[in-house]
Amino acid sequence: MIIFDQTHNTFTLNTKNTSYQMKVTEFGHLLHLYYGEKITDRDVSYLIPNVIRSHESNPSEVGANRVYSLCAYPQEFSSNDAGDYRISSIEVVNTDGSYAFVGKYRSHKIYKGKYRLSTLPTLFAADNEDVETLEIELQDEVTGVSVTLYYGVFAEKDVITRAVKLTNGDKGELRLQKIMSASVDFMTDDFDILHFFGHHYYERRPERQHLNHGVFEIGSTRGSSGHFHNPFAVLCAPEATETNGDAYGFLLMYSGNFELSAEVDGYSQTRVALGINHKQFEFKLAVGESFEAPEAVLTYSKDGFSTLSHNFHNIFRNNACDSKFVNSERPVILNSWEPFRFTFDEEKLLKTAELGKRLGADLFVLDDGWFGQGDFARDHEKAGLGDWTEDPKKLPNGLKGLADKLHAMGLKFGLWFEPEMVNERSNLYKAHPDWCLKVPDRAPSRSRHQLCLDLSRPDVCEYLISAINAVLDQGIIDYVKWDYNRYVCDVYSTYYPQDRQGEIYHRYILGLYRILDGIVKTHPDILFEGCSGGGGRFDGAMLCYHPQIWCSDNTDAQSRLTVQYGTSFAYPVSTMGAHVSACPNKKTKRVFSWETRAAVAMHGTFGYELDPAKMTDEELDACFKQTEIYRKNQRLIFGGDYYRLSAPNDGDIFSAWEFVSKDKSNALVFAVTEDISILDKNYYVHIKGLDPDRNYKVNGDLTLSGKALDKIGLLIPHTVPPFSTFVFELTAE
Ligand code: DGJ
């Protein structure tokens, strides 16, 4: 899997279908040679042109050699202030005030199993899975500062992970100002970049553009990975499609500020780099101290986006979260937020839950509004956050009284928290006003009337762990929705001296992982769902804690088609929270049939977010049947290979997607039309991933070969109302 070739001084990392190659030069620089389709060659350094790039600098140790330039050569971890002017992997200020860092090869280790980081979540090797690690240590010969580059090779899954640990030398204090988790160089240009942008209510919409000369960059400086850009992008050939062409996926396992950039330089070479955003980032390291940069997950597919997504889906379904819920059946949820917001009492909740059973729900979630008392009662957005005890006015019999009654009905009980936040109108704020992020002498900005707790403080983290665990340890909660509803600003912590304020953004995220470890990992029987004003923190690191994440606050079926389509490029359907809500939709005012709303919500962890008391008996019965369809197919939906069968952004006037069992014996296809009339051309949905030589029964009726279903496809009927839904069940004979 990992080959060190002593003759050529190369490292080759092989997965089933890909290779990644690096080379140590005679001067100790680590070059990146190749990433792509599997090769058997042990040294492809011939690809570096033997030309003088005049005006480029040549390191002094190369003597009169004018070809050897760090800016013309492909780098694995680019040096700083040493003649590579492209996006840097590292920026430091040394004790003597210099900025130089030149990492040269010192040693390496290859071992079975997957490295882990001690401060950050990472992917792990599943039981009996063949995974290998390569560690390469680079060191600056003058300062003694070293970086360990980690590579995790998941051979069967065609995934390579990378991470970096920097360790200060013995010369004195070091100021780390930038460190990228991964950087990959290509000797050519002509790439597109596909990335996922959005905002609250409309996350992860795909956008594809050609990379021209210069720097393309996405990122977040909002303290969380955020609604605006996802820490994930695909570099691909301009002709790449779902089924053809080179596609490289780059994903950062980090929930805070990130940057992902791609540069095409003047020689038309391309570099992609991703890591913690270096805005307002400066970490001070004393002699011998270390800093870990988060893990990056890389995959390559020569067959376009479907295979790329399968690689990410397989790894997130098996190697991110060790919760027992990841690969088990998930409950159908009925959530109180959209129907009731803050206005409810025990009687109303129980009546809703009773009807929820008729609807087919397994679990009732009491969302925001259950906590705080008196003046601080959570009857609106302005009070209560931080006071995690029930409001006796709404819950006279306490959480336990409600939970017992729900359990007696045969329903599970879920509860909402927003642990990282506080309202000024709360007992927590009264007792600890200094526990918020706030710049001295400035009034902090509020967002949704709330302030961010300072999770960089260990005392705040320990308090939160004990306050939330006090509720969970009653043993009456089966599910937790972990919400986070603002972005961070006023980033200053009175806990740290003024010269360490550049550490706070990152220390906040370390604190967040600390409290997630202390709450999530100590409650293995509770299903956790992540959330951040919908999908504002939908990232790989969060998936190490939460088997599922609420995808978006937008529950409009048409919008969700786009949000879920975009999300599916990196994240499996089993991680996407998706609910049927009432129509007209609260936000968009649009109306869709129950069938269409259900079909769209089956592209995720299915549930309802409506008041069943407002439904007719027929509607309740119809929904109950939908939950049965979902339950029957949940294994296929969560465990099968997922295919996008349409490209809504490229003018397709239907959305279609498909789940195929790993043994290709059955498949489930959903298609939602926009507006197809008799005046339109014929539209066929081409079914992917089937065995071309087997015959499949379509909805128990027509029999077609896998080949015909792919090459000819199934006709989408004309003249149906806009947003009609078609479901095709395919069973191999
Ligand atoms: C934002 C979430 O995305 C919603 O589902 C809901 O939980 C609200 N917060 C509650 O404040």
pLDDT for position 717: 87
292 ligand 1 Cβ < 6 A: no
Angstrom distance (rounded) from CA 602 to CA 95: 57
Q: If you write DSSP's letter for every residue of 18-31 in order, what string do you get?
A: EEEEEEE-TTS-EE
Give Rg (Cα) of the chain: 27
pLDDT for position 676: 82
pLDDT for position 214: 98
Q: Is residue 123 within 8 Å of 88, Cβ to Cβ?
A: no
367 ligand 1 Cβ < 6 A: yes
Q: Is the pLDDT of residue 574 over 80?
A: yes
553 ligand 1 Cβ < 6 A: yes
337 ligand 1 Cβ < 6 A: yes
What's the length of the chain? 733
Angstrom distance (rounded) from CA 142 to CA 130: 39
Does 678 or 379 have the greater pLDDT score? Answer: 379
Give the burial class of 3: count Cβ atoms within 10 A of its Cβ; 0-12 exposed, 13-18 middle, 19 or more buried.
middle
Q: Is the pLDDT of residue 342 over 70?
A: yes
Catalytic entry in 91, 158, 242, 539: 539
For 3, the 3-state DSSP assignment is: strand
Average of per-residue pLDDT values in the chain: 97
Kindly give the number of the ligand 1 atom that is closest to the alpha carbon of 416: 7
What crossing angle do the helices spanning 617-639 and 346-359 adopt, rounded to 10°? 70
Task: Based on DSSP, count helices (H) and strands (E) in the chain, helices before strands.
Answer: 11, 37
pLDDT for position 121: 98
Per the structure block, which two tokens stand in for 24?
């140590």
Find the 417 Cα to ligand 1 centroid distance in Å: 10
Residue with tokens 């259900």: 598
Catalytic entry in 5, 490, 619, 652: 619
pLDDT for position 521: 95
Kindly give the number of the ligand 1 atom that is closest to the alpha carbon of 481: 7
Under 8 Å CB-to-CB from 702, ≥6 apart: which residues?
A: none
533 ligand 1 Cβ < 6 A: yes
Give the confidence band of 395 by pLDDT, cuts at 50, 70, 90.
very high
416 ligand 1 Cβ < 6 A: yes
- pLDDT digit string (tens) for 439-498? 999 999 999 999 999 999 999 999 999 999 999 999 999 999 999 999 999 999 999 999
Sign of CA dihedral 578, 581, 583, 589: negative
Domains defined along the chain, listed by start: 2-318 (2.70.98.60), 654-732 (2.60.40.1180)
Angstrom distance (rounded) from CA 556 to CA 549: 17
Indicate which residue's Cα is closest to atom 11 of ligand 1.
368
577 ligand 1 Cβ < 6 A: no
Nearest partner of 137 among 18, 290, 20, judged by Cα: 290
Could you give the percent of the chain with pLDDT greater than 90? 96
Strand partners, 669: 658, 728
Q: Is the pLDDT of residue 678 over 80?
A: no
Q: What is the mean pLDDT of residues 205-210?
A: 97
Is residue 539 part of the annotated active site? The answer reads: yes
pLDDT for position 677: 78
Q: What is the mean pLDDT of residues 327-355?
A: 97
- pLDDT digit string (tens) for 283-330? 999 999 999 999 999 999 999 999 999 999 999 999 999 999 999 999
| Cβ neighbours, 10 Å, residue 613 | 11
pLDDT for position 649: 66
Per the structure block, which two tokens stand in for 455?
């999770």
Q: Is residue 227 within 8 Å of 198, Cβ to Cβ?
A: yes
Q: Is residue 468 within 8 Å of 388, Cβ to Cβ?
A: yes
pLDDT for position 228: 98
484 ligand 1 Cβ < 6 A: no
Q: Which amino acid is at 317?
A: R
For 536, the 3-state DSSP assignment is: coil
Q: What is the mean pLDDT of residues 89-107?
A: 97
Q: Pocket of ligand 1, candidates 227, 380, 416: which has the most ligand atoms within 8 Å of its Cβ, to mutate?
A: 416
Q: Burial code of 82-117, b = ≥16 C-beta within 10 A, e = fewer?
A: bebebbbbbbbbbeeeeebbbbbbeebebeeebbbb
Q: Which amino acid is at 577?
A: G
pLDDT for position 680: 81
Find the 338 Cα to ligand 1 centroid distance in Å: 9
Angstrom distance (rounded) from CA 659 to CA 401: 41
Indicate which residue's Cα is closest to atom 6 of ligand 1.
337
Q: What is the mean pLDDT of residues 633-662?
A: 92
Q: Is residue 596 within 8 Å of 626, Cβ to Cβ?
A: no
- pLDDT digit string (tens) for 691-722? 999 999 999 999 999 999 999 999 998 878 88
- pLDDT digit string (tens) for 3-41? 999 999 999 999 999 999 999 999 999 999 999 999 999
Is residue 619 part of the annotated active site? The answer reads: yes
| Cβ neighbours, 10 Å, residue 344 | 18
687 DSSP assignment? P
535 ligand 1 Cβ < 6 A: no
Over 318-383, what HEC string results? HCCCCCCCCCCCCCCEEECHHHHCCCCCHHHHHHHHHHHHHHCCCEEEECCCCECCHHHCCCCCCE
- Residue 432 CA to chain centroid, in angstroms? 33
For 101, the 3-state DSSP assignment is: strand
Q: Is the pLDDT of residue 577 over 80?
A: yes
List for the chain the helix, strand, coil content (%; round to 5).
20, 35, 45
- pLDDT digit string (tens) for 521-534? 999 999 999 999 99
Angstrom distance (rounded) from CA 555 to CA 293: 35
- Residue 644 CA to chain centroid, in angstroms? 19
Does 171 or 718 have the greater pLDDT score? Answer: 171
Could you give the percent of the chain with pLDDT greater than 70? 100
Q: Pocket of ligand 1, candidates 341, 368, 381, 579: which has the most ligand atoms within 8 Å of its Cβ, to mutate?
A: 368
Find the 368 Cα to ligand 1 centroid distance in Å: 7
Find the 530 Cα to ligand 1 centroid distance in Å: 11
For 282, the 3-state DSSP assignment is: coil
Q: Is the pLDDT of residue 547 over 70?
A: yes
